[in-house]
């Protein structure tokens, strides 16, 4: 029920983001979702890709510090209140969200919310008990 996410640290200087995407493109790795957060000195690029192992190897070979984490992807209808309903359910159970990002598909009208929780297992249990669509890589990306 988890999705593999790659996180890498980027110096906040020109060309570093491109170096990361070039390393992936050279190995024909497709990026399905990403989030980039920055501070004054560095950024954290979070990626969901079609081949986590190959991407990790390519990025490390290019000199990046890479960490692979399990995240939880939740499918919701892309309409007002979808995220709020999920967050209300989690708050009621005292489940802390460390970070999240989302993407939607205009073609299907659905959205995927990608979460990192303080306790991923408790979050998945809570979501599944509420019949919320917890997704894996196959459900999210057809892999």
- Which domains are assigned to the chain? 3-69 (3.30.2130.10), 70-137 (3.30.2130.10)
pTM of the model: 0.85
Distance CA 105, CA 25 (A): 23
pLDDT at residue 142, rounded to an integer:
57
DSSP 30-93: PEEEEEEEE-SSEEEEEEEES-HHHHHHHHHHTT--EEEEEEEEEEEESSTTHHHHHHHHHHHT
pLDDT at residue 106, rounded to an integer:
61
Strand partners, 46: 7, 35
Cα 10 to its chain centre, rounded Å, is 17
pLDDT at residue 108, rounded to an integer:
67
Sites in the chain below the pLDDT cut of 70: 105-108, 137-143
Distance CA 124, CA 140 (A): 16
Token pair of 22, please?
């070039």
User: How many Cα atoms within 13 Å fall on the side-chain side of residue 139?
Assistant: 17
């Amino acid at each position: 029920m988890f999705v593999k996410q790659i996180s890498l640290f980027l110096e906040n200087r020109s060309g570093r983001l491109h170096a990361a995407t070039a390393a992936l493109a050279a190995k024909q790795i497709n990026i399905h979702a990403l989030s980039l957060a920055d501070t004054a000195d560095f950024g954290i690029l979070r990626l969901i890709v079609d081949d986590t192992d190959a991407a990790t190897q390519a990025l490390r070979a290019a000199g990046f510090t890479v960490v692979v984490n399990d995240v939880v992807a939740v499918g919701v209808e892309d309409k007002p209140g979808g995220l709020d309903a999920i967050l209300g359910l989690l708050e009621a159970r005292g489940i802390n969200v460390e970070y999240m990002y989302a993407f939607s598909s205009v073609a299907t009208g659905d959205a995927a919310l990608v979460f990192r929780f303080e306790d991923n297992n408790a979050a998945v249990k809570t979501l599944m008990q509420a019949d919320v669509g917890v997704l894996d890589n196959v459900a999210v990306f057809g892999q």
